[in-house]
Amino acid sequence: MTTLDIDALRRGFPALSVSHGDRPLVFLDGPGGTQVPDAVIDAVAGYYRTSNANHGGAFETSRRSAAIVEDAHAALADLLGVDADEIVVGPNMTTLTFHLSRSIGAGLEPGDEVVLTGLDHAANVDPWLAIAADRGLVVRWWEPNLDDCTLDLGGLEALLSPRTRLVAVGWASNAVGTINPIARIAAAAHRVGALVYVDAVHAAPHLAIDARAVDADFVACSVYKFFGPHLGAVYGRRSILAALRAYKVRPADHRFETGTGNFEGQAGALAAIGYLEDVGRMAGAPAGSTRRERLVTAMGAIREVEMVLYRRLHDGLAAIPGLTLYGIVDPDAFDRRTPTAAFTLAGLGAPEVARRLGDAGIAVWDGHFYALGLVERLGLEGSGGLVRLGLTHYNTAGEVDRALEVLREIAAGGGAAGAEPAEPRIAAAR
């Protein structure tokens, strides 16, 4: 039994009432960006109403704006389980990762090695490829097991060497939902003295993140994936940030936040984390709890709700003739996946399936979702990639059933002319 009143939470999200014909639009596009609650919308608007100013001024709105930014850093730190001075905020995860990769790369020598994965989003691959090209680094590829889109620790061990300086890995795959064993990855990397840069963009809306517990050196996330505005944040271990070369202008106080910040976005980030705290209260976090405790409670409850829904989605998808699911499909291993389903449908390209779902009022993404390496390795890049249905806690069983109903109709009548009728299949492509 869930402790969350999803209907009550949904009422706080105005976009969930946007209609498509005579029914509300169904948002299964969460991995691409979630909807935001009224509290976030009000906080962004409220910033402009009462606190809009640049920082460092000896007047009220400038002080208020600076206080919001300080509070937002503290809130993001609580979300990731770290301290506020270890949080770097920027326009988005990709820009921050390019920025930090330059600082990290400044300390690397030709012949040093970086480990990248074939599972990750391009945002945790391409910045390192760029710095590798600039600095003459050697790139070692940690290849995913394509049967279930997982990364095997033995594969990492085989790549590590005394020259390994960095392992860049996702906490969870935004394409197929695989959750990676970050604590074990970090331990292995640290044994050879390498840093671990973790992309938690897809994990943060679904899991309680504890950067210290897994001993990551960097953990990046994006606020628009967890009910907030378009903003990125990265945790960097204090001692490492202090030792890195900072590319900054001389007068700037913050070593890694260059130029004027998105202050209204940070007001919204604070409110998004406030929303999650409310979810934590609803899930039973006691009155005297800390913000971190409320957030951990919230994420536990969200995880529970989402995975009940995911099993329903999985069972429905697995029964559709011609549908091939990618990633972890064994229900006994669902603790190692997020509620993000990716599939192909025999005889129809992913763009066509997504278009028909969209026409029926169901918002989903198709293609490679920037997890280009994985979709290429699966051999799907030339045929339109994958269809992705991503659940968040604000989705309902009714929405899942609606999506399944439309997909069954598409599968029954929608195959390309001449396509063979196919049996249900949940094996991977290869």
Ligand X SMILES: Cc1ncc(COP(=O)(O)O)c(C=O)c1O
Nearest distance from C-beta of residue 38 to ligand X, angstroms: 23
Task: Report how many residues bind ligand X under the rule CB under 6 A.
Answer: 14
Neighbours of 49 (CB within 10 A): 8
Segment contacting ligand X (CB under 6 A): 5-13, 78-86, 89-97, 336-344?
Answer: 89-97
Using rule CB under 6 A, residue 201 touches ligand X: yes
Using rule CB under 6 A, residue 43 touches ligand X: no
Using rule CB under 6 A, residue 94 touches ligand X: yes
Site string for ligand X, 383-412 (x = CB under 6 A): ------------------------------
Nearest distance from C-beta of residue 251 to ligand X, angstroms: 27
Segment contacting ligand X (CB under 6 A): 54-62, 65-73, 194-202, 254-262?
Answer: 194-202
Of 40 and 201, nearer to ligand X (C-beta) is 201
Residue selected from 113, 199, 257, 366 as contacting ligand X according to rule CB under 6 A? 199
Nearest distance from C-beta of residue 65 to ligand X, angstroms: 23
Comparing CA positions, the residue from 35, 27, 33, 30 lying closest to residue 400 is 27
Using rule CB under 6 A, residue 92 touches ligand X: yes
Segment contacting ligand X (CB under 6 A): 196-204, 318-326, 331-339, 351-359?
Answer: 196-204
Of 126 and 210, nearer to ligand X (C-beta) is 126
- Residue 244 burial (CB < 10 Å; 0-12/13-18/19+)? middle
Using rule CB under 6 A, residue 222 touches ligand X: yes
Q: End-to-end CA distance of the chain, in Å?
A: 38
Segment contacting ligand X (CB under 6 A): 92-100, 307-315, 393-401, 419-427?
Answer: 92-100
Using rule CB under 6 A, residue 80 touches ligand X: no
Alpha-carbon distance of 32 to 393, in angstroms, equals 15
Of 69 and 372, nearer to ligand X (C-beta) is 372
Nearest distance from C-beta of residue 338 to ligand X, angstroms: 10
Q: Give residues with Cβ within 8 angstroms of 60, minimum separation 6.
A: none
Comparing CA positions, the residue from 394, 400, 201, 398 lying closest to residue 279 is 394
What percent of the chain is helix, strand and coil (3-state, nearest 5)? 45, 15, 40
Angle in degrees, CA 280, 281, 283, rounded to 5: 65
Using rule CB under 6 A, residue 170 touches ligand X: yes
Alpha-carbon distance of 104 to 112, in angstroms, equals 12
Alpha-carbon distance of 205 to 226, in angstroms, equals 5
Long-range contacts of 15-23 (CB under 8 A, 24+ apart): 16/394, 20/360, 20/361, 21/361, 23/361, 23/402
Neighbours of 7 (CB within 10 A): 9
Using rule CB under 6 A, residue 368 touches ligand X: no
Site string for ligand X, 121-160 (x = CB under 6 A): x-x-------------------------------------
Residue selected from 103, 174, 262, 266 as contacting ligand X according to rule CB under 6 A? 174
Taking each helix axis from N to C end, the angle separating 263-282 and 291-318, rounded to the nearest 10 degrees, works out to 80
Say if residues 173 and 371 touch (Cβ distance below 8 Å): yes
Using rule CB under 6 A, residue 302 touches ligand X: no
Nearest distance from C-beta of residue 283 to ligand X, angstroms: 25
Alpha-carbon distance of 374 to 198, in angstroms, equals 17
Using rule CB under 6 A, residue 206 touches ligand X: no
219 strand-pairing partners: 198, 235
Question: What is the SS3 assignment for 411?
Answer: helix
Of 199 and 264, nearer to ligand X (C-beta) is 199
Say if residues 300 and 335 touch (Cβ distance below 8 Å): no
142 strand-pairing partners: 117
Segment contacting ligand X (CB under 6 A): 58-66, 88-96, 313-321, 420-428?
Answer: 88-96
Of 117 and 174, nearer to ligand X (C-beta) is 174
CA atoms in the 13 A half-sphere facing the CB of 160 = 20
Question: What is the SS3 assignment for 238?
Answer: helix
Using rule CB under 6 A, residue 202 touches ligand X: yes
Nearest distance from C-beta of residue 162 to ligand X, angstroms: 29
Using rule CB under 6 A, residue 232 touches ligand X: yes
Residue selected from 93, 209, 283, 363 as contacting ligand X according to rule CB under 6 A? 93
Using rule CB under 6 A, residue 29 touches ligand X: no
User: Which residues of the shown chain bind ligand X in the complex (CB under 6 A)?
Assistant: 31, 92-94, 121, 123, 170, 174, 199, 201-202, 222, 232, 370
